[in-house]
Structure 1
Amino acid sequence: MAWNVHKPPRADGTTVLVTGGNAGIGYFTAEQLAAAGATVIIGSRSPRKATAAVDAITARVPGSQVRHIPLDLADLDSLKASVSHLDTDALDAVVLNAGIALDAPPREQNHRGHELMFATNHLGHFALVHRLAPWLNAAPAARIVTMGSFAARSERLDLDDPQSVRDYDPKRAYGRSKLAQMTFAFELDRRLRASGSTCMSVIAHPGGALDALTPPRPGIHRRSGSRHLLSLPARLLVQGKDAGAWPAVRATLDPDVRGGQLWGPGRLGLSGKPHLETPQAHMTDRPTGAALWTASTHLSGQSTRVDPFAS
């Protein structure tokens, strides 16, 4: 059956956590999942922005079940408290969407000394997935959906300097942080299958998603009329963030999706309906995935003694 981006399968009775679901692609992912009937939990650093997102979704999707929890992925010490707010027995999916992309900043660190983009985009999600294991294992067949990026295609990980201590460039640091996310997601799928877990790890990316082509949402996004008109020719190649959410929604809800798959827009990987892609070899390289896992375990302070997803 053809996938209908405007009418995905019903998800009544399921619970999904969307990190960074208060803005951008994360917001539209949360909105579309709520419209399909899922109970959506928005993880956000900002209570004000999270409340605005909940209000926007409930106004647009009457009867939807949406709430939020505090979540600061740059602060690994806060994650235990964050997951204690889930207020659910099981998670059917988590969409690892939150992240930061700074335009041209100096190198910044969190209180642990981790470079901020690597810490937020990758390390925080790595640690969060381990924290969520009991809730994901409690679901019949949970999905861990990682939001990748086109920026990862041209980058390569430097595991001798994963946090860009020696040679920092903001654009490269961002691309490497997204590549780390995707490499982790492919490695996670291999480990889930090897352990016999019923969970699966799936990767999605939004293609080219512009604010100027994104429909307005009160309290979330205001679209400038002049910017929108100027950006209309770009619609031939790219799209709004509402459409950028489609691959993640399909990765979360499509019953035919399998672990280790990569879903992205069908038109040149930049826009259009989601389709199955072939990942680039550097994203799925097994030695790199294993080495990144080891480095991430050390940097995030996760235990190596117990596999939280082993059946």
Structure 2
Amino acid sequence: MPTAVQTPPWDVHRLPPAQGKNFLVTGGNAGIGYFVAEQLAGTGATVVLGSRDPAKAEAAMASIRARVPGARVRHLRLDLADLSSLKPSVDSLELDHLDAVVHNAGVLLDQPERRETKDGHELTFGTNHLGHFALTHWLAPLLSAAPAGRVVTTGSFAAKSARLDLDDLQTTRDYRPKRAYERSKLAQMLFGCELDRRLRAGGSTTLSVLAHPGGALDSLTPARPPLHARSTGQRLRGLPLALFVQGKQAGAWPAVRAVLDPTVTGGQLWGPRVAGLRGAPRLEPVWDHLADPATAARLWTASATLTGVDPAFHPA
């Protein structure tokens, strides 16, 4: 009788090799996305940083190469707030397959004025949710061409208490930046759950997985000059908070595990171990309001109408 293969315990500092694989990280030039890209680059995979700003992407790639000898990183010019630009961007990837995309990029505005994308959508919702929704459509053939592609959607702990207004997805009434952000992250996570249902129903080998970083602060994040620097004072002031939250390098761990762990299955939610706010990545129960298929299906239909595309994957 063959011996069962034991999967070693997950170690955030000893990731499994991924030579020959291709990963795309949206917003990979800064914040949590940067650390997702840096950690994935250490596996030997080719990591594509999706970013609007070539200069910032070049700085991020230089930082990764300085820490990961032989890192295979490249830049994809990607503007999630411009839907018409997404297909040409995907075409310029020039890959025959994509093993995973990490939907990480996002905006959190602090101005009280409501702003819109080039397509006339509220900027936070249009970038964080609609842009990734449409990007998934254009990436579907590349993800389907991989043996087991993955769509990893980075949500937020802030979405746990948020609720969508399906009659006002564009927040035309009573706009508040923080609430718009929370709702956009909830929309992303509902999309990830609905995508999982559709992938399974269609017999696809592609997985849709959710991840969230918990509480991730700049003051607890290791320096990556010139991308991110912190003074001694900032570091010392942040130390007491380390009992409750973490830095952005640790905030990247759930998404990295969702990309690489061979035991991951579709529809799962990965987050930090300690109260969902800090620590090594662990499997979490899917939050109750994410498991509502009626809301997710209505959001999907509205998103397809607003973007003009409807993500679909070919069966295995």
User: Which of 248, 252, 256 does residue 259 from structure 2 map onto?
Assistant: 252
Distance 1:200 1:265 in 2: 21
Aligned to 2:222: 215
Match for residue 161 of structure 1? 168
Aligned to 1:302: 309
The DSSP-based 3-state class of the residue aligned with 1:282 is helix
- Cα deviation 1:26-52 (Å, max 9, x = unaligned): 000000000011110000010000011
Residues 134, 310 of structure 2: 8 Å contact kept: no
Which residue number corresponds to residue 25 of structure 1? 32
Show the counterpart of 1:106.
113
What's the counterpart of residue 4 of structure 2?
A: none
> Contact 2:213–2:277 at 8 Å: present in 1 too?
yes
Separation (CA, whole Å) in 1 of partners of 2:66 and 2:167: 48
8 Å CA contact 1:7, 1:36 repeated in 2: no
Equivalent of residue 245 in structure 2, options 229, 238, 248: 238
Structure-1 residue corresponding to 2:151: 144
SS of residue paired to 1:68:
strand
Q: What does 1:163-182 align with in structure 2 at a 5 Å threshold?
A: 163-182=170-189
Q: Which moved more, 1:104-113 or 1:188-197?
A: 104-113
**Greater mean alpha carbon deviation, residues 97-106 or residues 237-246:** 97-106
* 8 Å contact from structure 1 (residues 72, 79) kept in 2: yes
Deviation per CA, 1:251-306: give whole Å up to 9, x if none.
000000000000000001000000000121111200001000000000001158xx
Deviates more, 1:251-260 or 1:224-233: 224-233
Aligned to 1:18, the other structure's residue is in SS state strand
Distance in 2 (alpha carbons) for counterparts of 1:50 and 1:284? 36
**1:52 partnered with 2:52:** no
What is the CA deviation profile of residues 134-173 of structure 1, one whole-angstrom value per residue up to 9, with x for unaligned ones?
1101100000000000110111111100010122111111
Q: Matched residue of 1:11: which SS?
A: coil
Letter in 1 for 2:33: G
> Structure 2 matches for 1:59-98, cutoff 5 A?
59-98=66-105
Residues matched between the structures, number:
309
The percent of aligned pairs where both chains have the same amino acid is 64
Aligned counterparts of 1:284 and 1:293: Cα–Cα separation in 2: 14
8 Å contact 1:104–1:171 — kept in the other structure? no
Which of 213, 223, 227 lines up with 1:206 in the alignment? 213
Q: Give the Å deviation of 1:310.
A: 4.2
CA contact (8 A) 2:21 2:45 kept: yes
Q: Deviations over 1:1-45 (max 9, x none)?
A: 211000111111110000000000000000000001111000001
| TM-score calculated relative to the size of structure 2 | 0.96
Give the Cα separation in 2 of the matches to 1:84 and 1:195.
25
Aligned-partner residue type, residue 105 of structure 1: P
Q: CA deviation at 1:103?
A: 2.3
What root-mean-square deviation, in Å, do the aligned CA atoms of Structure 1 and Structure 2 show? 1.0
Q: Which amino acid aligns with 1:16?
A: F
Match of 2:18 among 11, 15, 30: 11
State how far apart, in whole Å, the 2-side matches of 1:75 and 1:153 are. Answer: 28
Number of the residue aligned with 2:127: 120
TM-score normalized with structure 1 length? 0.97
Give the secondary structure class of the aligned counterpart of 1:276.
strand
Distance in 1 of aligned mates of 2:131 and 2:215 = 24
SS in 2 for 1:153: helix
Secondary structure of residue in 1 paired with 2:224: coil
Which portions of structure 1, spanning 4 or more consecutive aligned residues, are displaced by more than 2 angstroms? Answer: 307-311
Distance 2:239 2:119 in 1: 44
SS at match of 2:153: strand
Q: Give the match's secondary structure for 2:175.
A: coil
Structure 2: gaps of 5 or more residues: 1-7
Name the amino acid aligned to 2:134: A
Structure 1, unaligned runs of 5 or more: none
